[in-house]
Structure 1
Amino acid sequence: MYLSKTIKFTVAVVFLYCLGCNQTKDKELTKNQEKNSFLKVSHNILDYSITPKDSVDKSGLMFSDQGAWFAYGLSKEPNESMGFSGPFLMTQQNGVWLSPSFINALIKVDNNQEPLKLTSANSYASHLEKSYTSDKILVNKKLVFKNGHTALLQTKIKNLGNKNINLDLLWGHAPIFINSVSLSQNNNIIKINSSKSTAKGYVRFPKDTDVELVDSLQYKAKNSFNLKPNQTKAILISQTFIFPEYSWEEEKKQIQDTDFESVLNAQKEEKNKQLKAITENRKPQFNEDKYAEVLAKAHLTLQNNWRIPAGELTNEGLFPSYHYKWFNGFWSWDSWKHAVGLSYYNTGLAKKQMRAMFDFQSEDGFIVDCIFRDTLIEPHNYRDTKPPLAAWAVAKIYEKDKDVEFVNEFYPKLKKYHQWWYNKRDHDQDGLCEYGSTDGTLIAAKWESGMDNAIRFDDSKILKNSEGAYSLDQESVDLNAYLYAEKLYLSHLAEILNNVNDAKSYKAEAEKLKLTIQKQFYDDEDGWFYDTNLEGNTFIKGEGSEGWTPLWAKVATQEQATAVKTKLMNPKKFYTKVPFQTMSADHPRFDPLEGYWRGPNWLDQAYFGVKGLRNYGFNKEADKATIQIINGANGILGKGKSIRENYHPLTGKGLNAENFSWSAAHLIMLLQND
């Protein structure tokens, strides 16, 4: 009897142990299945299929990462020799292709060229990859950015047959497009020199590679080896483009010790973590897979525009669009918007984006409009600044990581910037500011609004305030609403720093300004906010997106917000195929195709409209508008097409620049659960 009980007990223990083991294995299996599951959503989310025909071919998109100043594509031709398109160099001019494919390869098997077929070409937020096959071999190629200077290209070749084969891997390049380039050689390294850039390029082959410089524009290299059946050989090549402020010797040492799989896995994990952050933080009503794809596309758009410090640029940040030649720099209000979008998954980069512009802050608080790496190509623009959204950005970043030191770093700078508006842009000293310029030109004053040719400025004139300070002869509702919001954000930041006096002072200023905005800029008859003349007794009519900025800033009364909401949801005015465009569709000067700010839908303004509705409890309308914006704007949903600078509100067609950063940043904001 005792023995029987003992056996039963032992069997039970063994059963429970095995059950526990199986459960542990199941958990491990589930964990492995879930690993990088968010990264998978980025699979081919943007179309990098391009084989450039000349140096300025922009018929496709380019992949980059880690802030690199160069990028690659996936060749369109399926049976072209093995390689990735490019590189596309943002190290010189306003972005040019060096070659259709600078690191190209042919394979010989037993001295005969092997006919390879391209079987797949894939992109992820972490890397690019291509596969080729023949009856004898399988070839996998992957490209990943190690850092902002170097990309790693791995070629793996597997013997599919049942006998040994001899392989020759022959490297070379398609024609070089740009005549400013020459090549030189040092053992297994090819150096790329350019008279148009201070950056130098380096292609490093494995030590067992035979490398030969044919002439100043052509190289060839060869790897030879034997492969047994089912054996795989991996060859690693690095491509570096590095500016003189960084050390090539240090970079070369790091490359020598690099393990490709470790770099690739680290990038996969980092991108998966970032995508997980913005995907899991979605508003519940946007929990469908298609919205996860929108976020993956937005995330990758920002990644492709990311640049490390170089030349005149002292900090990391994002271009508005690498794809458009005049957007290869940093702009101030773009930067504030980028930083808020980045804050949801990368506060470190968001902070650097803020520093990029404040590194150029003048003693009087002025923030430059835009800055560039090479001022011989384009000079910094000191003629104007941009709308004050910097304190909003700093406050949003603080929300995510509670970094008091960051607030402490920026608070005095933000105070100076805020006060600058009242010192330099309040012509009649009545506490309401105007857009203006530093050089006295009307065009720069319009630029300062960010809405260059909006109809409200059609009849504007310029007035001198003091030396180097000019204002338009009108007070703008959006500018003063932004300044109202800035006061509240500054008050909040002061509280974080235990600066009680400043906190109270900014709140008091905001309260006073609120009443002025509600009274001066709101037309009871129209139910809309407008700019006014300096005296504040004449509205500058024409319903535009500035009319809902008070809702975003929370400065309108509930009654005023309700009236604005009614017009926003009117299909004849703002509730179009892509809702909340920059001016009412029933206005005679509405012209989305010809008017940069006279009708297109800019997603930053659309976001301000949606957020404004939420601020006043109109969540049903805000959800409806968000869905309509994403569904209506051509190419936001689905894989392939890029996010555009703006959209035709009636047709949904994407307009102007591709791969546009602030559009991507505001798509992230639209879907996040704040």
Structure 2
Amino acid sequence: MHGYYLPEKSNKELLGGFAGPLIIAEEYPVNLAASLNKLTVKNKKTGETYDLSQSNRMDLSYYPGRLEQTYELDDLTIHLALIFVSNRTALIQTTLENTGEEPLSLGASWTGAVFDKIQEGTETLDIGTRLTAKDNDIQVNFGEVRETWNYFATKDTKYTIHHADKVSTKIDNRNYTATAEPIELKPKQTYNTYTTESYTFTKEEEAKEQQQAPEYTKNAARYFKENKQRWQGYLDKTFDQKKTAEFPEYQNALVKSIETINTNWRSAAGAFKHDGIVPSMSYKWFIGMWAWDSWKADVATADFNPELAKNNMRALFDYQIQKDDTVRPQDAGAIIDAVFYNQDSARGGEGGNWNERNSKPPLAAWTVWHIYQETKDKEFLKEMYPKLVAYHNWWYTNRDHNKNGIAEYGSMVSDAHWQKDDKDQIIKDKNGQPKVDDDAVIEAAAWESGMDNATRFDKEGVGKGDVGVKVFENKNKGKVVGYSINQESVDLNAYLYAEKGYLASIAEELGKKEDYKNYQKEAKKLKKYIQENMFDEKTGFFYDLQINEDGSKTKLLVNRGKGTEGWLPLWAKVATKEQAAAVKKNMMNQEMFNTFMPFPTASKDNEKFAATKYWRGPVWLDQALFGVEALQNYDYTKEAKEMTQKLFLHAEGLMGEGPIHENYDPLTGKGLSTKNFSWSAAAYYLLYKNTLLSNNPTTQTAFEIK
């Protein structure tokens, strides 16, 4: 739950230590210090302190799973290496080597200054940190601070530095200096020492890591070896040397993808019952687990770290709504949008980021089936199958307004969806029932699609005959169980078609013959509806279908323009070959989707296209992946490879030293929004493995294209 940076070579004040640490204050990334454990070395004979900025050679490097620093001075080389040895503790090796011709008498000390305040906009928040020291340990103690939108800590939260060798420590307010015993080095002689740094949330975690610290330092060589083996294992599972020789220039991007996903790995803590992958540790609001974010990351992660992928699935399904749920029993089977360290007030927690206003697109079975393909773990299939079935069925009980077997995006019943007065009091109708806030429901429905501000969800609609986005109540036995918007979304129903395929494959694997037959039957009906009602012959593309209350009147929303949702029927294998050919033509059109960085979320010729506005134009790699696999499904392998290469070669910094971004400008390739984004990394991983090196998309195989 913490991490480090490499210092900049130009920042003299940080050389000799790993910058940070960055801690996760339960839900928020916070820098605890500029450099909390910085080494200073003094030549006791001359009285001079070695100036690391004047090194003859300085190397600051990030390797998979390891940070290293090397400073070569005239008669001394200093080497620092950092790895993680547990989900709470980092291990640092410090090596001093006498490279001169004369003996050296050295004094080594470590210094740090902890921040006691953080800046949030124009506000300064006092976080109440203070330093204590005992024996060879220095500890940062935290104050009890529960700031819902900025920072969480308790008095049990601790950050502990443990030195393997004896040090004497002096504390001056927020600063400390820990001084080692004198070090005598003959020419060519080397001295090694070790420290651990642990960040813990509870007394139990603190006690465990304190007990383990001497073990970590005593057997440091073994831990460094195991770390190297673990990361080499990830790489070995990724790279088949016979195939990768065809595209060696892409390997750097693949390693970066693995590093990005693993860096966003959060271990179980607080409300997280299992480990999982967050969207990005680099952004304040992304330190939670969203349903479809996690699932997309897991499809790639299953290839090199299947246990993490399994646990990430469990982390979301740990909070699947049950029939006896005390808050929303009407949503039994649903997977909520996002889980965080703290639950919300309705669940007895203090969190504000926990979200039960909506779900996310049904991609869970896709992920579970892919994990099974990698692991052949039938027990995992048995564990997940009934949960997947309950989630799949929920869409039809709570998001199918006219009960025609075609689902809509919508929202849960939630206090956040009631109208409020200027005193934040709920406004009620003449029957004493809360009045629905349509804008809030539409917002949640857009969130449920995952495409937060996509043009197809603009409330006002586009042009004559478009009534805009309306809200319908969904009832079960007269009771409101949720809300739908007035459009049957083509991507949602394509996902559900694909999910029936994955569920059919799982059912067949588990010997559930009746279930298998039922999914075949349901899929046949759904395919017919999508093919006949959601495709426009004139423009050669799929669109959402607007409906009225009883489903007696519909309007295909061609007028709202083309978006990435239009090729999801190809990804799901629900389109006819003729429809796919027409869609492919649009996808490869340079004035539509074949932009410099291909697959913008809104077609370039869409009147609301905006190249840098989140889901209104930028390239999102998940939708690009679905687009490439859509082409592969219909044997457009040449086009699939062409678009994939553009996605790699035209993304700013991807093939070099730049981070993987949340999305990209389709006209320039400039990285946009958050850096170090998990599902973008996962998409690049899958595109490399399944498109560049092979023709093996992740799409369902239970139902054939007809």
TM-score clears 0.5: yes
Structure 1 residue 130 corresponds to structure 2 residue 69: yes
2:61–2:67: 8 Å Cα contact kept in structure 1? yes
Match of 2:469 among 431, 439, 460: 460
Instruction: Determine the structure 2 residue equivalent to 1:265.
Output: 225
Instruction: Determine the structure 2 residue equivalent to 1:200.
Output: 158
Structure 1 residue 490 corresponds to structure 2 residue 449: no
Note closer, same or farther for the CA distance 1:133–1:283 as it changes in structure 2 (3 Å cut). closer
Match of 1:634 among 652, 661, 675: 652
Mapped partners of 2:159, 2:175: distance in 1 = 13
Gaps of 5+ in 1: 1-67
Structure 1 residue 475 corresponds to structure 2 residue 481: no
Task: Choose 191-200 or 578-587, whichever is displaced more.
Answer: 191-200
Note closer, same or farther for the CA distance 1:431–1:254 as it changes in structure 2 (3 Å cut). same
**Secondary structure, aligned partner of 1:396:** helix
Matches within 5 A, 1:207-286: 207-215=165-173, 217-244=175-202, 246-258=204-216, 259-280=219-240
Instruction: Determine the structure 1 residue equivalent to 2:20.
Output: 86
Matches within 5 A, 1:390-469: 390-438=364-412, 439=414, 440=417, 441-458=441-458, 459-466=468-475, 467-469=480-482
Q: CA deviation at 1:380?
A: 1.1
**Secondary structure, aligned partner of 2:674:** coil
Match of 1:102 among 36, 53, 62: 36
Q: CA deviation at 1:92?
A: 4.7
Match of 2:48 among 104, 107, 112: 112
Instruction: Determine the structure 1 residue equivalent to 2:299.
Output: 340
Match of 2:601 among 572, 582, 589: 582
Task: Read off the aligned partner of 1:247 and give its amino acid letter.
Answer: E
Mapped partners of 2:87, 2:388: distance in 1 = 30
Match of 1:499 among 512, 524, 530: 512
Per-residue deviation, residues 423-443 of structure 1 (Å, max 9, x unmatched): 000000000000000135221
Mapped partners of 2:166, 2:530: distance in 1 = 73
Task: Read off the aligned partner of 2:228 and give its amino acid letter.
Answer: K
Mapped partners of 1:133, 1:481: distance in 2 = 59
1:307–1:319: 8 Å Cα contact kept in structure 2? yes
Matches within 5 A, 1:548-559: 548-559=567-578
Q: CA deviation at 1:79?
A: 4.0
Mapped partners of 1:670, 1:399: distance in 2 = 17
Mapped partners of 1:177, 1:626: distance in 2 = 47
Provide the alpha-carbon RMSD of the alignment.
Answer: 1.7
Mapped partners of 2:447, 2:619: distance in 1 = 18
Note closer, same or farther for the CA distance 1:321–1:145 as it changes in structure 2 (3 Å cut). same
Instruction: Determine the structure 2 residue equivalent to 1:614.
Output: 632
1:170–1:223: 8 Å Cα contact kept in structure 2? no
Mapped partners of 1:93, 1:513: distance in 2 = 41
TM-score, scaled relative to structure 2? 0.83
Matches within 5 A, 1:43-62: none
Mapped partners of 2:181, 2:569: distance in 1 = 65
Matches within 5 A, 1:18-33: none
Structure 1 residue 519 corresponds to structure 2 residue 519: no
Structure 1 residue 600 corresponds to structure 2 residue 618: yes
Instruction: Determine the structure 2 residue equivalent to 1:318.
Output: 277
Query: Percent identity over the alignment?
Result: 40
Note closer, same or farther for the CA distance 1:115–1:596 as it changes in structure 2 (3 Å cut). closer
Instruction: Determine the structure 1 residue equivalent to 2:104.
Output: 165
Instruction: Determine the structure 2 residue equivalent to 1:570.
Output: 589
Structure 1 residue 300 corresponds to structure 2 residue 259: yes
2:113–2:175: 8 Å Cα contact kept in structure 1? no
Match of 1:287 among 238, 246, 257: 246
Mapped partners of 1:655, 1:299: distance in 2 = 20
Mapped partners of 2:316, 2:170: distance in 1 = 45
Task: Choose 546-555 or 258-267, whichever is displaced more.
Answer: 258-267
Task: Read off the aligned partner of 1:584 and give its amino acid letter.
Answer: S
Task: Choose 357-366 or 220-229, whichever is displaced more.
Answer: 220-229
Mapped partners of 1:569, 1:529: distance in 2 = 15
Mapped partners of 1:263, 1:135: distance in 2 = 31
1:301–1:660: 8 Å Cα contact kept in structure 2? yes
2:113–2:174: 8 Å Cα contact kept in structure 1? no
Structure 1 residue 74 corresponds to structure 2 residue 7: yes
Task: Choose 404-413 or 258-267, whichever is displaced more.
Answer: 258-267
1:122–1:129: 8 Å Cα contact kept in structure 2? yes
Task: Choose 382-391 or 468-477, whichever is displaced more.
Answer: 468-477
Note closer, same or farther for the CA distance 1:194–1:174 as it changes in structure 2 (3 Å cut). closer
Mapped partners of 1:152, 1:623: distance in 2 = 43
Mapped partners of 1:79, 1:526: distance in 2 = 61
Mapped partners of 2:223, 2:254: distance in 1 = 24
Per-residue deviation, residues 21-75 of structure 1 (Å, max 9, x unmatched): xxxxxxxxxxxxxxxxxxxxxxxxxxxxxxxxxxxxxxxxxxxxxxx33333334
Task: Read off the aligned partner of 1:404 and give its amino acid letter.
Answer: K
**Secondary structure, aligned partner of 2:646:** helix
Task: Read off the aligned partner of 2:646 and give its amino acid letter.
Answer: Q
**Secondary structure, aligned partner of 1:173:** strand
Per-residue deviation, residues 513-543 of structure 1 (Å, max 9, x unmatched): 1111111101111110000112463111211
Per-residue deviation, residues 616-663 of structure 1 (Å, max 9, x unmatched): 10000000000011111111112x210000001011111100100000
Mapped partners of 1:74, 1:343: distance in 2 = 33
1:477–1:517: 8 Å Cα contact kept in structure 2? yes
Matches within 5 A, 1:11-22: none
Note closer, same or farther for the CA distance 1:245–1:452 as it changes in structure 2 (3 Å cut). farther
2:165–2:193: 8 Å Cα contact kept in structure 1? no
Q: CA deviation at 1:246?
A: 4.3
The aligned length equals 604
TM-score, scaled relative to structure 1? 0.87
Instruction: Determine the structure 2 residue equivalent to 1:7.
Output: none
Gaps of 5+ in 2: 118-125, 146-152, 323-331, 344-349, 418-440, 459-467, 691-695, 697-706
Q: CA deviation at 1:265?
A: 1.7
2:3–2:22: 8 Å Cα contact kept in structure 1? yes
2:4–2:18: 8 Å Cα contact kept in structure 1? no
1:436–1:469: 8 Å Cα contact kept in structure 2? yes
**Secondary structure, aligned partner of 1:299:** helix
Task: Read off the aligned partner of 1:445 and give its amino acid letter.
Answer: A
